[in-house]
Amino acid sequence: MLKKKKTYVVAVVGATGAVGNEMIKTLEARKFPVKKLRLFASERSKGKMLKYRDSEIPVEIPKQDSFKGIDIALFSAGAERSRIWAPIAAGSGCVVVDNSSQWRMDPEVPLVVPEVNPHDLKWHKGIIANPNCSTIQMVVVLKPIHDAARIKRVVVTTFQAVSGTGQKAIDELMQQTKDLLNFREVACNVYPYQIAFNVLPHIDKFLENGYTKEEMKMVNETKKIIGDDSIRVTATTVRVPVFRCHSESLNIETEKKITPNEVRAVLSGAQGVIVYDAPEKNIYPIPIDVAGKEETYVGRIREDETIDNGINMWIVADNLLKGAALNAVQIAEKLIEMA
Ligand SMILES: NC(=O)c1ccc[n+]([C@@H]2O[C@H](COP(=O)([O-])OP(=O)(O)OC[C@H]3O[C@@H](n4cnc5c(N)ncnc54)[C@H](OP(=O)(O)O)[C@@H]3O)[C@@H](O)[C@H]2O)c1
């Protein structure tokens, strides 16, 4: 458990990556009570200095005794690194908030979105998992609707930005776009096909059931976070040539009838959600507007006229913020509140 202190020694593991970079900025923007910031990455980043507040901080390579004296470590260096280093960090007495998929479905590890299940932080044993980016933005919207009308089933299709794959994918979309506009051949290193001016119905590995791992993360993580195994979720996850922000089309079937206006009212009062829905004025959330924002934006709220109790909507959130760095920092803030 985290001890109450005025300021904390904080580490970011994976500090040079797409999420790590946002973690550093988020700690600074939210005035997190940082006594000292330690930054870790791979051998490749040896010698690099990263900016935090007015100082330049050297990037370190994690070692067995690196985590001694660190209070909170935010991990975003991939599942394999989390498998190895998170238990070592937790064993050194530091609380780990892990962004990778490594610990999410471990029954001993809470999977937390602070607006939805902050109570689960009480039973952590040193590691807390941050959910998948597409799951986080979906559950902040589903939970208040579930409380109001009990959700039976969700059909979700995602439109996910390349930054969800990390820095190399951001660079690949940029490079392919430049090459295509200059009539040059494109190289595909990150995705199996060209992503510029294209759409790929494929995120993460394919599983035996025909779904991808990303799709099954949305199914399983939703049940664990909301704490209700009866919610049925079916997902299709799609990569689109957008740099930042995941969009999702949600079809929600509820037990109790709930009208679009009631959904608007429920979501207007929900933490971390902004209803942005006036189609007559072309008002609906889009990635370029939501990039850099902390909340999940909801629009296109309308009735599914093909079933008795159905609602359709369109949600957009910044995958690097609410989908990753911000949610992790909010978890750390809650831990301090509860200390
Ligand atoms: N991007 C998202 O929207 C998102 C959302 C939720 C969760 N996540 C998860 O967050 C993690 C990082 O994602 P990302 O998008 O930031 O990836 P990324 O841009 O590829 O960054 C990966 C980071 O991990 C570091 N790293 C790699 N190998 C390492 C090692 N052996 N020891 C220490 N550090 C090492 C890299 O350091 P170098 O620069 O030195 O290689 C870099 O800082 C992944 O587990 C991902 O699934 C990402």
pLDDT in tens, 118-143: 999 999 999 999 999 999 999 999 99
List CB contacts of 34: < 8 A, sequence separation 6 or more: 7, 8, 9, 10, 27
pTM of the model as a whole: 0.97
Distance 75 CA to ligand 1 centre (A): 8
One DSSP character per residue, 249-276 reads: EEEEEESS---HHHHHHHHHTSTTEEE-
| Residue 243: Cβ-neighbour burial (10 angstroms; 0-12, 13-18, 19+) | middle
Cβ(128)–Cβ(73) below 8 Å:
no
Single-letter residue type at 249? S
Confidence tier at 251 by pLDDT (50, 70, 90): very high
Q: Which of 9, 239, 219, 247 is nearest to 105 (CA)?
A: 219
Return the ligand 1 atom nearest residue 320 CA: 3
Q: Which two tokens stand for residue 338?
A: 């509860």
- Percentage of residues of the chain with pLDDT beyond 90: 99
Distances (CA, A) of 316 to 36, 105, 251, 293, 338: 34, 25, 15, 10, 30
Q: Which two tokens stand for residue 318?
A: 């910044």
Ligand 1-lining residues (CB < 6 angstroms): 14-20, 40-42, 44-45, 62, 76-79, 81, 99-100, 133, 163-164, 166-168, 319-320, 323-324
Q: What integer is the mean pLDDT of 245-258?
A: 98
Active site residue ranges = 133, 246
Query: What pLDDT, on the 0 to 100 scale, is given for residue 1?
Result: 81
Alpha carbon 277 to chain centroid, angstroms = 23
Q: What integer is the mean pLDDT of 247-254?
A: 99
